[in-house]
Structure formats: structure tokens, C-alpha cells
Structure 1
Amino acid sequence: MKTLKSILLLLLFVPLIKPAPPTQQDLRTISDYGTDNFEETLYSHDYEDKYLDGKNIKERELNEKTLQLQKDESVTLLPKKENEEMPTCLLCVCLLGSVYCEEVDIDVVPPLPKESSYLYARFNRITKLTAKDFADIPNLRRLDFTGNLIKDIEDSTFSKLSLLEELSLADNQLMKLPVLPSTLTLFNAKDNKIKSRGIKANTFKKLSNLTYLYLDHNELESVPLNLPESLRVIHLQFNNITSITDDTFCKANDTRYIRDRVEEIRLEGNPIILGAYPNSFICLKRLPIGAYI
């Protein structure tokens, strides 16, 4: 009986017993490792790992694609071999009708855009010029082949260039001149190996617009014949000219003739004493530059 009462009393007081409040250490532990925060922390770590792995994978794929693209581009830009020619405007610089092919180590005239007006092909290894080089380029106004290795030029090379005004063949290996277009205003063939027999008697006769003529530092034995009236500057210095006549610059049969356009004639560096030919300059406003005694 007493035992039964004891059990009943114990049952009555059990609900009234409250658990002791958690200590501060316990609170910190729950906060750090509570269910919600713990799952969130795990999710965060998992997300970062997957994100970084995914990012690395994407970066690797991107790098692989970039490398492949670079390889493809490098193959595309390589010069074509065998009979295929590299497009001129990749090899040279094309800008508003001007083509710049300077110091690109070419040995022939490259195919030019049909609208080309100016070609600068200086300091290369070109050895020959032909009519085919300019057959379909009728608008050319200026050609500059200074500093090449040109030995031969076909006579018909410039025949279709009806607009050509300036032609420079300086510093090459020419021994003779081709037929020149009558439209030229400037012709430069200095620093070659041209002899007098390499210039035909009528080479300059019809060049009625020619203003500047540069034939210095060659192997000429005489002044070229039939120099046009339009000339202002004539450079013949450092050749092998040994004599001139009264008809070289003037007209022996017309003492009243004045060649008034000529501003400069250079003959220094030639084995000629200009003072021995006083009647050869009576039509000039200025005496030629050179030795007189």
C-alpha cells in the first residue's frame, strides 16, 4: 500500500520538474552545429566546390577553343605554297588606291588591285618588269621601284599606262631604257649602269610633259638626244660624258632661241671641261653646274 502511494506521488511531481537552462557554452555549440546552420554550411561548401570545378572546366574548355581558333587562324594566314599566290593586300599595305610593298622581299611585281593608282615597291629583289605586270591596271599614276635588282624591262611594259606621271627606277642594274609613256612628268633612273647606246634617240622626244629627269651616277658617254622643252631639272652628274655640242641644249641654227624653262643642269663629276664649249649654253638662263677649267 505504501509503495503504491509513493508511485502515485512521484507521477504527480514529474511534470513539474523543468530541465536546467543551457549554459553559454552549450548555446555556442548549438549555434555552430545546429541542424539548419550545419546543413547551410555543408551546402555552401558543396556549392563552392561544384562552382569552382565547373568554372575550371569552362575555363579549360574556353582555353582549348581559343588555342584551336589560333591554330586555325595561323594556318589561314600562312603564305600559300606551290602555284597559289598570297593576296597582295595581306603581303603589302593597300590604302585608298595606294599599294605599299616596300622591303617585303618580293622578286616579281605582285598582282595589284585594279583600282590601284600608286605602287611603292622599293627595296625588294625584283629583277624584271613585263607588260603583264600592269596590263589590267590602267589608272596607275606613280610607280616606284627604287632599290631593286631590275636588269630588264620589256619595251611594252608601260605602253597601256596612259595616266602614268612618275616613274622611278633608281638604284637598279639597268643598262638600257625601255619605251617611256609620253605622260611622264618625272623620270628617275639614277644609280644604274646605263650607257649612251642604251638610250634610243627618240626616247625623250615625245615626252612633252617631262619636268624632272634624273640620270646621274650612270655610265653615259654623252648627253641624251632630243631632250624635251618642258624640262626644268636635268641631272647628269657622275657619268662618263666627255663632250657636248651646240645642239645638246640649244639650237645651233637659231641664235635667238631661249630655253627658258631649265632651272638646273648638273654635269659635275664628268670628264668634261665645260669652258671648252661656250656656244653650247647661249640659250640657257643659267650655266650648267660642273668644271669650266
Structure 2
Amino acid sequence: MKRLQSTLLLLLFVPLIKPAPQTRQDLHIIYDYGTDNFEETILNRDYEDKYLDGKNIKEKESIIPDMQRFQLQKDESATLTPKKENEEMPTCLLCVCLLGSVYCEEVDIDVVPPLPKESAYLYARFNKIKKLTAKDFADIPNLRRLDFTGNLIKDIEDSTFSKLSLLEELSLAENQLLKLPVLPSKLTLFNAKHNKITSEGIKANTFKKLSNLTFLYLDHNALESVPLNLPESLRVIHLQFNNITSITDDTFCKANDTRYIRDHIEEIRLEGNPIILGKYPNSFICLKRLPIGSYI
């Protein structure tokens, strides 16, 4: 009788007992196990476990503003306007320094930058330099070549090149010069074409002591006469497109020496001047080649 009562009670309470709810992990495994997407489901579950709880969501959200701030700082730094105060920048950052050569071309400098003491070549073409002074090269004794083509140079101190005893090539082409400074004695090439130089702006002895000068370019200026005392070493003389109206028997030759031959000169250009070369036959008797220009 007691056994029957126990059985009846058990039958009454069994329907009231419910199994414990399955966890999210159990649901994932039961639902996807054995399917083709099982591995993908496991990866998705790991992603959710890592980012979808409250703590990690906040961490993720805090990362995003930091990344945005970093990108903003990067964009702002990329649009900063570079400094125009070139003199405040080290020369070899503003220019290019390579084995004794300094290249400062088209960098908008308006003065000669401080140069490394070992500099032998300076290329400062197409800038805004207006003046050259002795201080610019006072501590650079090894300079052999200077090129200031295409600047705005109007004035050069007479002592600017006085300490450059090794200087061989000097280009001042395409500037605004009215006169020439004292030139270093070892020059082999001097180029001052396309300036505003007048005959009064060239002293009588400017070229006399330049015994190594080989190439002289003074074309496209305002010269009224051929410079005096041109050295014997000259091979090429360009004087075209000036205002030269006359020459003398001593301009290229020696009036008192009919045997004198000027051996080295290969080219003299005088075209584009008002002078009629045919009127001065004795001025060329020492030359192996007649100057280029108008003879009639």
C-alpha cells in the first residue's frame, strides 16, 4: 500500500520538474555541430565573446576616437605650410650637399646660405639673391666654381671674391648687374651674359691679370665698346647683342706689331651690335678667324 502511494506521488510531481535552460555556448554547439559552418560559427562566437560584453565594447569605442584623432593630426601635419625663413634651416637640409658640391637651385633663397667649409662647388641658380658680399665666402677658401645664374643680383662688393684664390669658374648670367667686381686671378670661365653692364661698369684692368681666362661671355648687355686689356689666353669671346659702335687696332691686335698673331682665339661674336666690322680691317689682322658680325 505504501509503495503504491509513493508511486502515485512521483507521477504527480514529475511533470512539474523542468530541465535547466541551455547556455548560449550549448546552443551554438548543438545548433551548428556537424554542419558545414561549424568552424565559422566558432570564430563568430569567439568574436562575440571578445567584443560584445560591456567592458570590451567600451574598450573598442575608446580605440575608435584615438584612431580618428591620430588621422586628424596626420592630415593637419601634412597640410602645414613650410617655413619661408630659409636662413633658419641648415643649409644641407634646404639644399643638397654631395662630396663638396652644394646644390641650392630654385629654393627661393635671397642670400647666400652658410656653406660647409669643404665646399668646392656651389650651384645657386634661379633664386632671389640680390647681393653678394665678402662675408658670403670668407671661410670657404676651396671654392672652384660658383653659379648664380638667374638671380636678382644688382650689387657685388669688390672684395667678394678676393680670398677665393682657387676659383676657376664664375657665372653671374641673367642677373641685373650694371658693373663688374674685381675678379679672382685664376678664373678660366667668366659668364655675365644677360645683364645690364655698361662699358663704364668695367674697369680697364678687370681682365688684364686673368692669365688663365679662356671663355668670356658678356653678350646681351649694354656695352658701348669691347673691354680693354683682354688676356692672351682667351679662346672664346661673346659680345653679341650689345651697343658696340667701334673698335680700335689695339682691341684684339697690336697696332705697332704687324707680326703679332693671336693664336688662341677661336671665336669672337659681335653680331647684333651697331658696328660695321668692314670699316675696321686692321683690327683683325692678327686673328686666324674673322669675328662673327656685320661687315657691310
Normalised TM-score (structure 1): 0.80
Q: Distance in 2 between matches of 1:47 and 1:141?
A: 70
Q: Please say which of residues 205-214 and 66-75 is displaced more in the overlay.
A: 66-75
Structure 1 residue 246 corresponds to structure 2 residue 249: yes
Pick from 153, 157, 168 the counterpart of residue 156 of structure 2.
153
Q: Which runs of no fewer than 5 residues in structure 1 stay unpaired?
A: 21-26
CA contact (8 A) 1:93 1:100 kept: yes
- What displacement does 1:150 show? 1.4
Contact kept, 8 Å, 1:205 with 1:228, in 2: the verdict is: yes
- Look up the equivalent residue of 2:108 and give its one-letter code: D
Aligned partner of residue 268 in structure 2, secondary structure: strand
2:147 to 127, 144, 149: 144
* Equivalent in the alignment of 1:24: none
Partner of 1:54: 59
Deviations 1:197-253 (A, max 9, x none): 211111111111111100011111111111111111100011111111222112222
Tell me, yes or no, if the aligned pair for 1:79 and 1:86 is still in contact at 8 Å. Answer: no
Higher deviation after alignment, 58-67 or 248-257: 58-67
In the alignment, what sits opposite 1:176?
Answer: 179
Report the residue type matching 2:202 in the other structure.
Answer: I
Q: How many matched pairs?
A: 276
Residue of structure 1 in register with 2:280 after alignment: 277
Cα distance change of structure 1 residues 162 and 52 upon mapping to structure 2, 3 Å threshold: farther
Q: How much does 1:54 deviate?
A: 2.8
What does 1:262-273 correspond to in 2, within 5 Å?
A: 262-273=265-276
TM-score between both structures, scaled by the size of structure 2: 0.79
Structure 1 equivalent of residue 214 of structure 2 = 211
RMSD: 3.5
Distance of aligned partners of 1:106 and 1:274 in 2 relative to their CA distance in 1, 3 Å threshold: same
86, 94, 119: which is aligned to 1:116?
A: 119
1:87 pairs, out of 86, 90, 102, with 90
Secondary structure of 2:234's match?
Answer: coil
Residue 290 to residue 51, structure 1, CA distance change in 2 (3 Å): same
- TM-superposed CA distance for 1:102, in Å, is 2.4
Quote the residue 2:190 is aligned against.
Answer: 187
The alpha-carbon deviation at position 151 of structure 1 amounts to 1.4
CA contact (8 A) 2:235 2:265 kept: yes
State the Cα deviation string for residues 70-123 of structure 1 (Å, max 9, x = none). Answer: 878998964569xx7332233333333322222333222222222222222222
The answer on 1:131 being equivalent to 2:128 is no
| Structure 2: unaligned runs, 5 residues or longer | 30-41
Indicate how the Cα distance of structure 1 residues 14 and 219 shifts in structure 2: closer, same or farther if over 3 A, else same. same
Percent identity between matched residues is: 74
Distance 2:197 2:85 in 1: 38
Q: Which amino acid aligns with 1:209?
A: N
Q: Which residue number in structure 2 is paired with residue 37 of structure 1?
A: 26
